Amino acid sequence: MGVRLTIRECAYTPVVTCDWCGKDVHDDGIVEFLSNTEGVVIDDRLWFVHQQCTICFEESHGGHSKWRHMNINVFMRNMISVTNFNLSETPKRKKKRRSNETK
């Protein structure tokens, strides 16, 4: 599952979904990837799982020794760093007006 788009509050919204349980991943996520015994990445695919789903995911996919993982917050920071995304230039979402707000 990994990263997919959904519509929330009338806007396309990226959502990270756990590749083990299927529920949304937030800051409790782990990015899993395959490596050899020397730690060299052997498959460029990424899997996203909750911290509590890591053991079950790894055991059902060949065992812990094949997998390396990274905290999702570290992964996102690294991705922003290597891609030079400029988050200060991204448009801010408009806040949805509540129906009981005075106009």
C-alpha 62/C-alpha 33 separation (Å) is: 12
Residue 46 in contact with residue 11, Cβ under 8 Å?
A: no
Q: Determine, following the binding rule CB under 5 A, whether residue 18 of this chain makes contact with Zn ion.
A: yes
Residues 56-85 that bind Zn ion (CB under 5 A): none
Residue 33 in contact with residue 45, Cβ under 8 Å?
A: yes
Sign of torsion over alpha carbons 19, 20, 26, 30 = negative
Exactly one of 1, 2, 15, 21 binds Zn ion (CB under 5 A); that residue is 21
Least Å distance, CB 101 to Zn ion, is 36
Least Å distance, CB 45 to Zn ion, is 17
Take residue 16 and report the two structure tokens written for it: 């990270």
Exactly one of 16, 29, 50, 58 binds Zn ion (CB under 5 A); that residue is 50
Exactly one of 16, 31, 53, 72 binds Zn ion (CB under 5 A); that residue is 53
Binding site for Zn ion (CB under 5 A): 18, 20-21, 50, 53
